[in-house]
Chains A and B, each alone.
Chain A
Amino acid sequence: MTWLPMTGTGTTEFARVFGLRPNLYEDYRAFVSVFRSLQPVNPVVLELCRLRVKQLLGEDVALHIADGARDANGLGREKLNVLERWREAKVFSAAERACLELTEKFVLNPHGITDEDAATVRAHFSDEETVAVLEALAIFDGFTRFRLILGIDPKEREE
């Protein structure tokens, strides 16, 4: 449970904590809503990236994996079960592998991205999609850290 007072309104700890700054929370939700409505990138790829970010930051993703299997069309349990060992797994497409490599660098070592890594991403994604993937990673990384540092219940479903 979070160590901040949950005086905001909402059905989740995240909402009640973030709701301590209602204007900021409202703008955050609007930003996420634009992202969801545009679907600028294949949602399966983004869900893999989101869950991998959580794994890299040490969050227990078992429940989120169950959600992912239910929600993201085409994201089967087979991929989710081997996500932590994606480099050795044979089930991921080349585009998914490029994004997972980008995810690792984004979270752990942003200076480690090489021209070869970038070229691999660019081989599968347009400029528009590449920017969208990186914006999504910024949200996933930033708000996973936000949740972890504030001690927000890791089992609650994300909005």
Chain B
Amino acid sequence: MAGRPRVEPPPARPGADAVAQSPLAHQPELLQAFLHLYGTLWSHGVVDHSSKEVARIRNARITDCGY
């Protein structure tokens, strides 16, 4: 894993969360559309949260992602 971001994030807006302060913020319209999709996936789905979280963590472990 790179020790530092290879693309620096743009200056953060006040109150922005971690994702909105990440390099993804270089494409704000895409980020908003993605967050809407992700929000639906997590909060308006038919699979229980614990199962989704297990899948998310397993995916992160397999790819050695720190999130």
Could you say which of A31, A38, A127 contacts B37, with CB atoms under 8 Å apart? A31
Q: Could you tell me if A34 and B33 are in contact, using CB atoms closer than 8 angstroms?
A: yes
| Distance between Cα atoms of A23 and B38 in the complex (Å) | 11
Number of A residues whose C-beta is below 8 Å from B?
A: 22
**Given A24-B40, A110-B63, A135-B24, A130 contacting B34 (CB threshold 8 A):** no
**Given A21-B46, A111-B1, A127-B23, A30 contacting B7 (CB threshold 8 A):** no
| Distance between Cα atoms of A31 and B29 in the complex (Å) | 9
A19 sits at the interface (CB 8 A): no
Interface size class of B (residues with CB under 8 A): 20 to 34
Which residues of chain A from 100 to 159 have a CB within 8 Å of any chain B CB? 110-111, 115, 118, 122, 127-128, 130-132, 135
Residues of B within 8 A of A (CB): 1-2, 6-8, 10, 23-24, 26-27, 29-30, 33-34, 36-37, 40-41, 44-46, 63-64
Q: Given contact pairs A38-B29, A115-B2, A127-B7, enumerate 5 new A-B contacts (beta carbons under 8 Å).
A: A23-B40, A24-B41, A27-B37, A31-B34, A111-B64
Residues of A within 8 A of B (CB): 21, 23-24, 27-28, 30-31, 34-35, 38, 40, 110-111, 115, 118, 122, 127-128, 130-132, 135
